Structure 1
């Protein structure tokens, strides 16, 4: 049985320069406005049999703004950034440049004391591979999830069976989306419009 999983990146909770690792901020005013403008593009997702979100406030608020009323999934949480949590990339790079270099170069490294990029990608892949595959009018379930941009990037890398370092080559803007179709271990990427 095939699934269709649409992942939507949450709206903004801060400016790009003020983004912090693994943070739980509410949507910024601009994020609310962007989400409201995106309602027509994502209205079809309200009919999804299952509607999830990352457990952060901005993902829940984005899902609610889009009319999805999603259920928070702990497995869709952002990468555990250990002692870097709540700090900006610039702050960490200034205080721990070698640790940042190691983290960017080696997907198995966890210099922050949290989750490695490799482990994060596998966790998101495990979530994808364990979705229920029954239901749906066309013989497969339609699933929607509002997630952190990092989760969307990890899902793309996992679905394409790409090397973990390609994670750094995937850009996920606020309210961008991707649809994965298939089943456990056999995913195809559909480019949304």
Structure 2
């Protein structure tokens, strides 16, 4: 039996250029506004058999605001960014340009002392592959954009560097259908 996993990107907690690595800030005013605007299209996903979220404040708040009453899944946590936690990409690029270059070029590297990209993608893929399929037709999970990018790379068996080429906008959705090792992608339009 196959399972349908719909991933919903958490609403934002800061302006895009102010986003910080491994950040756990709550939704900002713009994020709450986006939830109110798009809720009509996302609330029906609450009918899923299982409802999950990343452990971040903004993922939990997004799931609650949409009526999902999600169960926090530690496996859906964002990539561990080690000593770069709390820094913006611009901060890191200015302070450690060679380390950023190494990190972007080699998915096995972790110059920040945290989790390598390959390990992150594998962790998210492991979560996907262990979703129950018996008597479960639909799952919804609110997650950080990086989690959704990792899930897509894993499901499509894409090379790890393709992670950098996927843009996940706040409150966008994507659906994966299948089961362990055999996922297919269904693109959903961003609700308007």
Report if TM-score (shorter chain) is over 0.5: yes
Gaps of at least 5 residues in structure 2 are none
Q: TM-score, normalised by structure 1?
A: 0.96
Matches within 5 A, 1:1-193: 1-136=1-136, 141-193=137-189
Give the Cα separation in 1 of the matches to 2:42 and 2:134. Answer: 23
Alignment deviations for residues 18-73 of structure 1 (CA, whole Å, 9 cap, x no partner)? 10000100000110110111111112211111000000000000001111111110
Gaps of at least 5 residues in structure 1 are none
Count of residues paired in the alignment: 189
CA contact (8 A) 1:78 1:151 kept: yes
Q: SS state of the match for residue 128, structure 2?
A: helix
Alignment deviations for residues 91-124 of structure 1 (CA, whole Å, 9 cap, x no partner)? 0110000000000000000000000000000000
CA RMSD, Structure 1 to Structure 2 (Å): 0.7
Give the Cα separation in 1 of the matches to 2:96 and 2:46. Answer: 44
Give the Cα separation in 2 of the matches to 1:118 and 1:162. Answer: 12
